[in-house]
Structure 1
């Protein structure tokens, strides 16, 4: 069963708004209890950005043509270097205790940054190509 461009975009857009509401509620709950940045808040925010990006990218990615393959390929290539940069920056910050994070917080931060970087690069490259 094929989804039309409009239906596919609407699905991701509605999912994005639902995740945005959840994200805001969970961030508010974390801040109001004094436990902000447990870790999962940023992952949920990254997932929200991912669904909005997929809403924008759905028509390009649905075709699965040479252009969409190039966007994915180049996006992953550029994202690799950004993610490597995040790790290079985080390692000394954690080593010299300029920032103190638990293991869960560190992994959540890297996961959120990875999601945001990959899908933002897809959007930027979709406008470029």
Structure 2
């Protein structure tokens, strides 16, 4: 697959996921059941697809630079995800936010997806 075809495929899938997430968010707001959980996962998948669209030419070549970006990105993302959990724990304990298990896992999965792939983008500009 050529570089332009791969980028185009990720961009189109990101756009489709974005439309799906907006549709699901609108339908859950209109029914009065906003934040079921899966609407944020679609949004995170859209962000992931857009980031992969940007990163495709760099990650296509499995060289030292792309490996370094992946290693550093996962390391920084791990620290951010720990930070998310440290922030969420007192919010749950003090009953500031009230989410069920599915919503909590969906929120953490979305934050993890967005953090990992956006850190790849930021690090690709740095390295």
Length-normalised TM-score, structure 2: 0.99
Match for residue 115 of structure 1 among 106, 113, 116? 113
Q: 1:109 & 1:23 partners in 2: Cα distance? A: 14
- Residue 45 (structure 1) aligned with residue 46 (structure 2): no
Q: 1:106 & 1:7 partners in 2: Cα distance? A: 36
Match for residue 100 of structure 2 among 76, 99, 102? 102
SS class of match (1:99): coil
Matches within 5 A, 1:70-85: 70-85=68-83
- Structure 1 stretches of 5 or more lacking a match? none
- Structure 2 stretches of 5 or more lacking a match? none
What is aligned with 2:55? 57
What is aligned with 1:32? 30
Q: Deviations over 1:62-86 (max 9, x none)?
A: 0010000000000000000000000
Aligned residue-pair number: 127
Q: 1:19 & 1:99 partners in 2: Cα distance? A: 27
Q: Using the TM superposition, give the Cα deviation of residue 96 of structure 1 relative to its aligned residue in structure 2, in angstroms.
A: 1.3
Q: Which runs of 4+ in 1 moved over 3 A?
A: none
CA-atom RMSD in angstroms: 0.5
Q: Using the TM superposition, give the Cα deviation of residue 95 of structure 1 relative to its aligned residue in structure 2, in angstroms.
A: 1.0
